[in-house]
């Protein structure tokens, strides 16, 4: 037993080191966003001036607005398409072409972004040529590209929830005469709501974060925040980027915390309800 204890202590130490590796760079980034000096690596006293500078940078703010709108629209569409795809994957008996369908779901998860980005652009150019649509590339083309690569992630999240769901509730509703559509909206959807929320957040952050696919599919008039960050990082490191990074990290952490808390609460409630139901039997 003591050997087991030793083994588990060993793995806990490794875990702690792993977390240190994951979080130390982020902490350093946040600390240095409050640095007085322009040099990112020398500490010269506390200051919030880089935040003030950031909010004066109109181009950066415009890019952030484009990114936030795009991420919002992407996440909404990806959740709808991803839920449909997850229902097909977990609830539908096989049909002709299901193998191809599941390949189309899993391939975008690992497809190198440069390939997705380039081929998407070639599609838009061909569409402009053949049908005269997507002639102006911009937010609309980026939206199509983002929905396509994020919906695969949403599908995975939602189908893992759907496959561990107790089917007896759905079957009971069906036996009582509810049709499939009604069962889905009245029974299934409320149960998988936390998964929809985490899928939505996943698609939102993936879209907000994307540089490569956006660079290929955007037009000259639309610049997203990652594109702006990337071009300014190429010019050199600036504490203004640190300030922006810290804001984004705090925002995402807050959102993640809220999502986690709401999931934890609904899980608790579900367990309590199940226990109550068992006691009443």
Partner 1 sequence: MNAVVKPRSARLLGSRWLVIAVPYLWLLVFFAIPLAIAFKISFSQAAIAMPPYTPIVNWVDGHPSLDIHLKNYLYLVNDSLYVNAYLSSIKIAVISTILCLLIGYPMAYAIARMPAATRNIALMLVILPSWTSFLIRIYAWIGILKNNGLLNNFLLWTGLIDQPLAIMHTPVAVYIGIVYAYLPFMVLPLYANLVKLDLRLLEAASDLGAKPWKAFLKVTLPLSKSGIIAGSMLVMIPVVGEFVIPEMLGGPDTLMIGRILWQEFFNNRDWPVASAVSIVMLLLLIIPIMIFHRAQSREMEGRLA
Q: What is the footprint of partner 1 within residues 186-245 (CB under 8 A)?
A: 201-202, 205, 208-209, 211-212, 215-216, 226, 229-230, 233, 237, 241, 244-245
Q: Token pair of 224, please?
A: 């997203």
Phi, psi dihedral angles at 165 (to 5 degrees): -75, 145
How many CB atoms sit inside 10 A of residue 2's CB? Answer: 6
Point out which span in 48-56, 57-65, 155-163, 272-280 binds partner 1 (CB under 8 A).
155-163
Point out which span in 49-57, 68-76, 148-156, 271-279 binds partner 1 (CB under 8 A).
148-156
Pick from 200, 93, 142: nearest CA to 101:
93
Q: What would you measure as the largest C-alpha separation in the chain, in angstroms?
A: 72
Point out which span in 50-58, 94-102, 186-194, 271-279 binds partner 1 (CB under 8 A).
94-102
- Total residues binding partner 1 (CB under 8 A): 100
The least distance separating partner 1 from the CB of residue 209, rounded to whole angstroms, comes to: 5
Pick from 17, 21, 187, 206: nearest CA to 91:
187
Q: Token pair of 82, please?
A: 């991803």
Contact (CB, 8 A) for 218 and 137: yes
Q: Which of 52, 115, 169, 186 binds partner 1 (CB under 8 A)?
A: 115
Contact (CB, 8 A) for 75 and 203: yes
Give the distance, in angstroms, between the CA of residue 269 and the centroid of all CA atoms in the same chain.
26
* Range 50-79, binding partner 1 (CB under 8 A): none
Point out which span in 50-58, 172-180, 188-196, 273-281 binds partner 1 (CB under 8 A).
172-180
Instruction: Give whichever of 61 and 88 is closer to partner 1, judged by the CB atom.
Output: 88
The least distance separating partner 1 from the CB of residue 48, rounded to whole angstroms, comes to: 19
Q: Which of 45, 46, 58, 97 binds partner 1 (CB under 8 A)?
A: 97
Contact (CB, 8 A) for 161 and 266: no
The least distance separating partner 1 from the CB of residue 45, rounded to whole angstroms, comes to: 17
């Amino acid at each position: 037993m003591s050997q087991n204890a030793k083994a588990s202590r060993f793995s806990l130490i490794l875990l702690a080191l792993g977390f240190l590796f994951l979080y130390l760079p982020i902490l350093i980034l946040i600390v240095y966003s409050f640095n007085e000096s322009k040099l990112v690596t020398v500490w010269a006293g506390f200051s919030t001036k880089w935040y003030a500078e950031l909010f004066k940078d109109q181009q950066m703010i415009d890019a952030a607005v484009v990114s936030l709108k795009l991420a919002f629209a992407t996440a909404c569409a990806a959740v709808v398409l991803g839920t449909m795809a997850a229902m097909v994957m977990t609830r539908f008996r096989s049909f002709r072409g299901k193998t191809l369908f599941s390949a189309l779901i899993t391939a975008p998860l690992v497809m190198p972004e440069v390939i997705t980005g380039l081929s998407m652009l070639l599609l838009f150019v061909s569409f402009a040529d053949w049908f005269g649509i997507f002639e102006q590339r911009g937010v609309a083309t980026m939206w199509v590209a983002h929905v396509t690569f994020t919906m695969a992630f949403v599908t995975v999240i939602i189908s893992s929830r759907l496959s561990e769901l107790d089917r007896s509730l759905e079957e009971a509703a069906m036996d009582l005469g509810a049709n499939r559509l009604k069962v889905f909206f009245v029974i299934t959807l409320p149960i998988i709501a936390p998964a929809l929320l985490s899928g939505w957040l996943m698609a939102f952050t993936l879209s907000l974060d994307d540089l490569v696919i956006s660079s290929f599919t955007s037009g000259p008039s639309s610049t997203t925040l990652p594109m702006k960050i990337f071009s300014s990082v190429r010019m050199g490191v600036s504490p203004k980027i640190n300030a922006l990074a810290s804001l984004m990290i705090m925002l995402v952490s807050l959102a993640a915390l809220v999502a986690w808390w709401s999931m934890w609460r609904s899980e608790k409630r579900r367990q309590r309800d199940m226990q109550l139901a068992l006691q009443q039997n």
